[in-house]
Amino acid sequence: MTVPGDRPLHLVLFYCFAAFVFCSTFSIAASQIALGMALVIFLVIVFWEKHQPFVRPLRRFYLFVALYVAWLFVTAATGETPLRSMWILKEEWLFLIIPIGIFLFRNERFSERLILTLAASLVLISVYGCIQHFTGVYWFKREALTTMDESVYRLSGNFSHPLTFGNYMVTASLFCLGLAFSRFRKPVGWKHVLIITAGLLGALTTAIANSRGPALALMCGLILLSVLVRRLSVALIGLALVVVIATSSSPGFVDRLEEKFRVDTKLRYEGGRFFIWNNSLKIIRDHPILGVGQGNFKTEYVKHLRPDIGRHRKYTHAHCDILNVAAIAGIPGLILYLGLWGAILASFWRCFRNNLLSDGARSFCLAAFLASIVFGVTSLTEATFADEEVRQLLMLFWAVGLSVSYKDKEKLTSTANVPIDST
């Protein structure tokens, strides 16, 4: 059984993966280049050192992953554009983040540094988000920030879409807050302070980002956090701050939400979620078994639109992961997708409730569970699982939680303690 340590290959793998973690907050290209390098090194370790990623406690999860991906290829092969659909499925390589992350997070020193790397990067991008809120700058991009009116910006960080940024920030910030509040009550030492700062700044940036889905996910995440750590004050104070900050930073925010909801429910506005979901259900009705195949959603969606609807309202996904998976992969694909989520959440919950594990290991599972739930809330109103920037962050957090369950044939390797001490 290979245990990560100070071997040269292990160190190179760690630095490549750390680069992936750091870059994930601002550049999909840079992060995936680093991830590709890490994957090559990891495969060398697997074959050279005979490392076994698929140990028994993880097999159920990996089985769902294999079945889900295999079914996606079946639906792609039977769709109208099989070669194009199969090419698009290359994005499923992001599942490979999980075994790489599990391998590294079994080392206490590696796991601590990876968490701190994420926290530092989250602080930097949060500061940039705050600068965008007050100035409207959009460095390194040719286009301008999306606005709700002349003075209210929808923050995008360094991503191309506000929802990508908002969904990333809320998922990352609730992971950090979950890790922080489950391990200690008062900040002690710079490592503790960094993680708390990252979580709070990420939550603040989400609150002022002017995106409905991430704001809803933030409120749900704070409530769930208070329940899991049994500290109701966390939720009450957090919710109050979210409401105050969101309304004060964006005058008329509540009124705009009410107006959008009123318009959406009439199923007339082509950009409204209810309109999109209604037409997505028609696609599922017409293709219940095999779906339409990856990359073919837009073609089928357009068939249910009026001819005069503009190009920017002809969407490539259902703006809801559940509906989107059902549309491209049919009901069987949706069942496998939900089974995948059920397996991962059950694993995190069991480990979190297991008092035989160390506090550090249980805090890993709580933070991963919380981040997954928050991600799931964002995916109710957006196809977040199809968004690579946020999806790769989720895969990282799944690796964090699953590293606790990594066992050999005799005993639990519970090195996922994340000391993060005050030294």
Residue 356 lies in a domain: yes
Q: For residue 407, what pLDDT is reported?
A: 57
* Residue 422, domain member (yes or no): no
Asked if 152 contacts 250 with a C-beta cutoff of 8 angstroms, the reply is yes
Residue 135 lies in a domain: yes
Structure confidence at residue 301 as a pLDDT band (50, 70, 90): very high
Region 281-310 average pLDDT = 90
Check pLDDT > 60 for residue 47.
yes
Decide if 59 contacts 312 (C-beta within 8 A): no
What pLDDT digit, counting tens, does each position of 224-272 carry?
Answer: 998 888 776 666 666 666 666 665 556 556 666 666 767 777 777 787 8
As a whole number of angstroms, the distance between CA 148 and CA 373 comes to 28
Distance, CA of 242 to CA of 173 (rounded, Å):
13
Interval 123-151: pLDDT, tens: 999 999 999 988 989 998 888 888 876 67
DSSP string computed for 18-62: HHHHHHTTT-HHHHHHHHHHHHHHHHHHHHHTT-----HHHHHHH
For the stretch 145-175, pLDDT in tens is: 888 766 778 899 999 999 999 999 999 999 9
Q: Is residue 419 part of a domain?
A: no
Instruction: Find the mean pLDDT for residues 331-353.
Output: 95
- Residue appearing with tokens 């540094």: 113
Can you tell me the distance from the alpha carbon of 388 to that of 326, in angstroms, rounded to the nearest whole number? 19
* Average pLDDT of span 391-401: 97
* 134 assigned to some structural domain: yes
User: In this structure, is residue 342 part of a structural domain?
Assistant: yes
In a domain, 2, yes or no: no
Tokens 């159920």 appear where? 60
145: which DSSP letter?
P
The CA radius of gyration of the chain, in Å to the nearest whole number, is 21
Judge whether residue 93 has pLDDT over 70. Answer: yes
Give Cα separations from 351 to 81, 360, 362, 374 (angstroms). Answer: 43, 11, 6, 19
Handedness of CA 144, 24, 390, 202 (dihedral sign): negative
Please state the domain count of the chain: 1
**Domain with 300 in it:** 55-405
pTM for this entry: 0.91
Question: Of 166, 165, 173, 183, which Cα lies nearest the Cα of 221?
Answer: 173
38 in any annotated domain = no
